[in-house]
Amino acid sequence: MLETQTQSQTITNQTTYQDYYVYVVQFLNGKYGVGTSNKPYLTIASINSGKHPLIKEKLTIHRVVGVKEQREDRNLINTVKRISERAGIKNTIAL
């Protein structure tokens, strides 16, 4: 949280994540997909059915690695970074 005090006024800037979730899936080809959604179960289903607009090739989900509430220290950028450090940048897809 960032607080700035100007004269007699205190302004607080706080990022609010409105019921968004970070999810990680592993595809049959070994690559990982990382994304955020307010309805992760629908997004994961659209990926598996081949109807997700960001995935041009057909990728079948092998397993759902995790679905967790998004917060300041757990967001898309941090999660993509962690997964790509483990699996490699070429094996990580940000959705």
Residue 62 lies in a domain: yes
Q: 3-58, pLDDT tens digit by residue? A: 555 555 655 555 555 679 999 999 999 999 999 999 999 999 998 888 888 777 77
Range of the domain at 63: 17-94
**Positive or negative, the Cα torsion across 61, 42, 54, 94?**
negative
Q: 46-95, pLDDT tens digit by residue? A: 988 888 887 777 789 999 999 999 998 899 999 999 999 999 999 999 98
| Number of domains making up the chain | 1
Residue 82 lies in a domain: yes
Residue 10 lies in a domain: no
pTM of the model: 0.77
**Residue closest to 91 by CA, chosen among 23, 26, 22, 21:** 26
